[in-house]
Amino acid sequence: MSRVPVAVLVSGSGTNLAALLESTSAADSLAEIVLVVADRHKAYGLQRARDAGVATEVVLKRDHPTPEAYDQALAAVLQRHGVEWVCLAGFMKLVGAAMLAAFPQRILNIHPSLLPAFPGLGVQQAAIEHGVRAAGATVHLVDGGMDTGPIVVQGVVEVHPDDSPEELSARILTKVEHRIYPMALRWAVQGKLRLRGRVVHVDTDEPLLVVG
C-alpha cells in the first residue's frame, strides 16, 4: 500500500498533532505524517514529532522579508518533502496564495468553534460571553480567509453555566477535536471529499457531526 504523505503545521503544544500521529500509526492508515513544521523553535509539537521519529522543520518569520516570502518558503519546504496533504493544527499563521496554489483544496485546519460562529482568536471567552449552550470544533478546508473555508466535520460539546474559557477549551479538545481531525484526514487521503460550491460532500456513512 502506497501511503499519502502528510505534513502537520504547529505553533504550540500539538495535542491535535498527537491525535493525528496516533491515528496514522495504525497499520491500515492510508495517511503517513512525514513532516512536522513549526514557526517557532519552542513549539512542543516538534518534540512530539521527534519522539515519533517524524522529520521536523522550523520556518521562522524573521528569516523572510514579507508574508508572501514566508508563504513561498513554507510551500517549498513541504514540496521538498513530497507532501500531498497539509494539516494546520494550532498553526498561528494564515496561509497565503503560494500555499493555496501549491496545495489546492488540500489544506485542512481545525478551529475550536462551531464555524461560522466565532472565527479567529479568543474564541471560548467570546462563546461564554454570548451565553451559547453548545460549543465545539470544526475541521475545514483552508481558503484565503481566517477560518472561512468549506466545512468537513464538526464536533459539539455542552457549555456548562460555570465554565471558564480554559475548562471549555479542554472539553472541546479532548472530547471532539482529537476525534474529528483524524476522521477528516482519513477521508481526505481516501479521496472522499468532494467540493460542490462551498459545501463539502463526504462519501461516507459515518456521522459528519460528532457529539462529545
Among positions 91-120, residues that touch ligand GRF (CB under 6 A) are 110-112
> Of the candidates 4, 207, 14, which has an alpha carbon nearest to the alpha carbon of residue 110?
14
- For the question of residue 201 being annotated catalytic, the response is no
Q: Determine, following the binding rule CB under 6 A, whether residue 48 of this chain makes contact with ligand GRF.
A: no
Size of the site for ligand GRF (CB under 6 A): 14
Please tell me what DSSP assigns to residue 63. Answer: G
Task: Please tell me whether residue 147 binds ligand GRF under the rule CB under 6 A.
Answer: no
Site for ligand GRF (CB under 6 A): which residue of 3, 5, 12, 73?
A: 12
C-alpha cell of 175?
Answer: 472530547
Nearer to ligand GRF, 72 or 127 (CB): 127
Burial of 86 per CB tally in 10 Å (0-12, 13-18, 19+): buried
Residue nearest to ligand GRF (CB): 90
Find out whether 3 and 32 touch, Cβ atoms under 8 Å: yes
Q: How far is the CB of 92 from ligand GRF (least distance, A)?
A: 8
User: Which of 111, 130, 160, 201 does the annotation list as catalytic?
Assistant: 111
Positions in 164-183 near ligand GRF (CB under 6 A): 173, 177
Among 13, 105, 125, 190, binds ligand GRF (CB under 6 A): 13
Binding segment (CB under 6 A) for ligand GRF, from list 8-16, 20-28, 93-101, 182-190: 8-16
Residue 111 Cβ, how far from ligand GRF at the closest point, in Å?
5
Contact between 160 and 167 under an 8 Å Cβ cutoff? The reply is yes
CB 126 within 8 A of CB 180: no
Say whether residue 89 binds ligand GRF (CB under 6 A).
Answer: yes
The three cell numbers locating residue 151: 466545512
Helices (H), 1-146: 15-24, 44-51, 67-80, 97-102, 123-129
Beta strands in 39-179, from DSSP E residues, in sequence order? 55-58, 85-88, 107-111, 134-141, 151-158
Interface positions with ligand GRF (CB under 6 A): 10, 12-16, 89-90, 110-112, 137, 173, 177
Active site residues: 111
